[in-house]
């Protein structure tokens, strides 16, 4: 009996599945060719579940790269957060010599800023779902600081509820421990001495899903989150941020804003029209800061 069936990533008319026996034990993972209905055993064992397989033709010599890990920031067994971040990581490596501004944050950041509509800077929005301070810090310290030599602006989401969440569980359990790519970079000192030849080629053929491209790369910085503290506590937190040597771009204004209902995707995220307004205003601010 077939179980845990998944499409082969990068393959046409192929699927993988667990094959269970009469006792319900999953003792085989198999490759199914849907064109001719043939089934090939890939691996056998006692209990092997949820196979994932991807393939591509490498047009380069990858002897110096572990192509099972290099640039693999997403696997189908990982959470959708990894899928979103996998798209951002490819753009990060490809455009690292041109990027002058970066946005880091959660899905609120992802849904509110159309980075390709920013004209004042070459901005990359690296927001992804379930991001908390731990994941944002990891990306900033190990990737942004090490590789974006032209960086001028850092946009950080400041959601008060970040202080009420265990960032390690939302980063380690959701992304870091689910895919090999970040640990591979870590084991190579995040490539501070330069990328290996064909590293970018490897990223382009690593597992991905076209559904990742359905969401614009956007940013929602200061909608007061529904998961955070009481408004009185949130105000104290925001006031403490205002006292720092930073520019607070507050579009929520504790509800005294001009974002209409149609500009909200839901209670926690901006819609496309809301993101257009947010992006336009942030771009205007960044232009002023350049003068």
What are the Cα distances from residue 179, in Å, to 7, 14, 183?
Answer: 18, 23, 8
Neighbours of 82 (CB within 10 A): 27
pTM score of the predicted model: 0.72
> pLDDT class for 274, splitting at 50, 70, 90?
confident
pLDDT grade for 131, boundaries at 50, 70 and 90: confident
**Which position has the token pair 């640039």?**
71
**Pairing assessment for the beta strands 2-7 and 14-20 based on DSSP bridges:** antiparallel
Stretch among 70-79, 151-160, 170-179, 225-234 having the lowest mean pLDDT: 225-234
Lowest-pLDDT range, 50-59, 67-76, 103-112? 50-59
Residues whose CB falls within 8 Å of the CB of residue 110, separated by 6 or more in sequence, listed in order:
84, 125, 127, 128, 129, 215, 217, 218, 219, 220
The CATH classification of domain 80-290, taken from the options 3.40.50, 2.60.40, 1.10.3210, 1.10.3470: 3.40.50
Confidence band, pLDDT 50/70/90 cuts, at residue 210: very low
Closest-CA residue to 208 (of 38, 98, 56, 92): 56
The radius of gyration of the chain from alpha carbons, rounded to an integer in Å, stands at 22
Q: Which range, of 47-56, 82-91, 125-134, 179-188, averages the lowest pLDDT?
A: 47-56
Q: In the chain, where are the structural domains located?
A: 2-44, 80-290
Q: Is the pLDDT of residue 187 over 90?
A: yes
Share of the chain above pLDDT 90, in %: 34
């Amino acid at each position: 009996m077939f179980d845990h069936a998944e499409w082969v990533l990068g393959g046409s008319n192929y699927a993988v599945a667990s094959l269970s026996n009469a006792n319900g034990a999953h003792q085989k993972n198999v490759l199914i060719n849907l064109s001719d209905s043939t089934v090939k055993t890939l691996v056998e064992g006692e209990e092997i579940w949820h196979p994932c397989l991807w393939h591509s033709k490498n047009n380069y010599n990858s002897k110096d790269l572990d192509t099972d890990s290099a640039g693999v920031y997403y696997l189908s067994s990982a959470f959708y957060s990894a899928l979103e971040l996998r798209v951002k990581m490819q753009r990060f490596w490809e455009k690292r010599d041109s990027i002058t501004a970066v946005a880091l944050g959660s899905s609120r950041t992802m849904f509110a800023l159309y980075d390709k509509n920013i004209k004042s800077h070459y901005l990359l929005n690296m927001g992804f779902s379930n991001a908390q301070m731990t994941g944002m810090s990891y990306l900033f310290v190990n990737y942004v600081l090490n590789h974006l030599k032209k960086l001028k602006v850092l946009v950080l989401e400041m959601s008060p509820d970040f202080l009420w969440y265990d960032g390690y569980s939302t980063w380690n359990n959701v992304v870091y421990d689910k895919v090999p790519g970040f640990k591979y970079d870590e084991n190579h000192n995040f490539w501070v001495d330069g990328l290996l030849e064909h590293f970018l080629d490897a990223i382009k053929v690593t597992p991905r899903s076209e559904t990742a491209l359905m969401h614009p790369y956007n940013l929602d910085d200061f909608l007061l989150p529904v998961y955070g503290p009481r408004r009185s506590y949130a105000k104290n937190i925001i006031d403490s941020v205002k006292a720092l040597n930073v520019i607070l771009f507050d579009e929520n204004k504790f509800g005294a804003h001009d974002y209409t209902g149609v500009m909200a995707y839901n209670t926690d995220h901006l819609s496309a029209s809301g993101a257009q307004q947010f992006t336009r205003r942030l771009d205007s601010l960044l232009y002023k800061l350049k003068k």
